[in-house]
Amino acid sequence: MIASMTNIVKRFRAHTALDHMSMTVEKGEVLGLLGPNGAGKTTAIRILTGLTGADAGDVRLFGREMRGQAADIKRRIGVVPQDLALYETLSAQDNLRYFGKLYGVTGAALKERVAVVLEVLGLSDVAKKAPKKFSGGMKRRLNIGCAIIHSPELLILDEPTVGIDPQSRSHILDFVEEMNKQGTTVIYTSHYMEEVERICSRVLIMDSGRIITDGSVEDITRSALFEEMVTLEVRDIAPALADAIKKVQGVLSCEVEGRMLKVTSTAGSMNLARILECAAPYIVLSAAALRPTLEDAFLALTGKKLRDGE
């Protein structure tokens, strides 16, 4: 086990940000940490990395209790914060050198790491330019570079692809996957569910300062959903077909849109075969049982209420 948080409590005046929250991070995994705004994700990361103290609970990293500054523990961690942490007037390579020295990397080793990181993140051509002239995607990539200049064992990325172009997003995801293949353990937070589905081996979903579910993407989508969806395209649709489908056990609704029928059933109904049986007298052009997504599960677990102000 790389890290653990046990019964962590953190309050800010009357607001409880973390309410006896517990989580573990296993060596070699890519752990997705999800939650709506105000769920406590960033607070949890700040406590895990020693940037903020907990009011109660136990934090352990690499088998040791996190106390005080714990500089030797922190040198084994790389953190990519939600807000860019760069020196805008220093060149890209000087940013990397500066952060490398903070982590204790010096001399020939630092020179080599700077060159490698610039190459891996596609920034070699702008090594001597200042990030104030960079695009949002280039800044995000340099921000990651500053967090991995010392080859950390644990890499924590807090919303690393916010507001960037698709090419930079793809590059960052490829990079995270490659880092993980090389043995780096990763904690990844994002509001982009497709990113989490792609790269995370395990997912935690937080709400109101607690972990509300923990498992693989497949496990979470299978257990959290309350409804199933089937779509049917029929050449010559008739009202009688919709009426027949509505009578199938477990069907909650059957909406008709042109030649398409959208059928919603209770979870576990497995109604595709029964719906096709109803449609046997018709010419069916296509039929599909839609695969639930992580976003579907996330909304089922945390609700659809807007959290903008939290």
Of the pLDDT bands very low, low, confident and very high (cuts 50, 70, 90), residue 68 is low
**Residues in Cβ contact with 276 at an 8 Å cutoff, skipping those fewer than 6 apart:** 232, 284, 287
Check pLDDT > 80 for residue 128: yes
Per-residue model confidence (pLDDT) at position 270: 85
Residue 118, classified by CB atoms within 10 Å of its CB into exposed (0-12), middle (13-18) or buried (19+), is buried
* pLDDT higher than 70, residue 307: no
pLDDT of residue 304: 65
Q: What is the arithmetic mean of pLDDT over 128-142?
A: 93
Per-residue model confidence (pLDDT) at position 305: 66
**Residues 97, 105: Cα–Cα separation, whole Å:** 9
Specify the pLDDT at position 237: 85
Q: Give the domain 226-291 fold.
A: Alpha-Beta Plaits (3.30.70)
Give me the pLDDT at residue 268, please.
77
Write the pLDDT tens digit of every residue in 243-295.
999 999 999 999 999 999 999 998 778 899 999 999 999 999 999 988 788 98
Q: Where are the domains of the chain?
A: 3-222, 226-291
Q: Provide the 3-class DSSP secondary structure of residue 105.
A: coil
Query: Residues 159-208: pLDDT tens digits?
Result: 999 888 899 899 999 999 999 999 999 999 999 999 999 999 999 999 99
Each residue of 36-64: pLDDT tens digit? 988 999 999 999 998 899 999 999 999 98
Q: pLDDT tens for residues 244-253?
A: 999 999 999 9
Which has the higher per-residue pLDDT, 60 or 70? Answer: 60
Q: Examine the pLDDT at 23 and tell me if it is beyond 60.
A: yes
Supply the mean pLDDT for the chain. 91
- pLDDT of 308 over the 70 cut: no
pLDDT of residue 292: 81
pLDDT band at 12 (very low <50, low <70, confident <90, very high): very high
Q: Where would I find the beta strands (DSSP E) of the chain?
A: 3-12, 15-25, 30-34, 56-61, 64-65, 77-80, 154-158, 185-189, 202-207, 210-215, 227-234, 251-257, 260-266, 284-289
Q: What is the pLDDT of residue 65?
A: 86
Q: Distance from CA of residue 78 to its chain's centroid?
A: 17
Annotation: CATH topology of 3-222: Rossmann fold (3.40.50)
What pLDDT does 303 receive? Answer: 80
Which one is predicted more confidently, 109 or 289?
A: 109
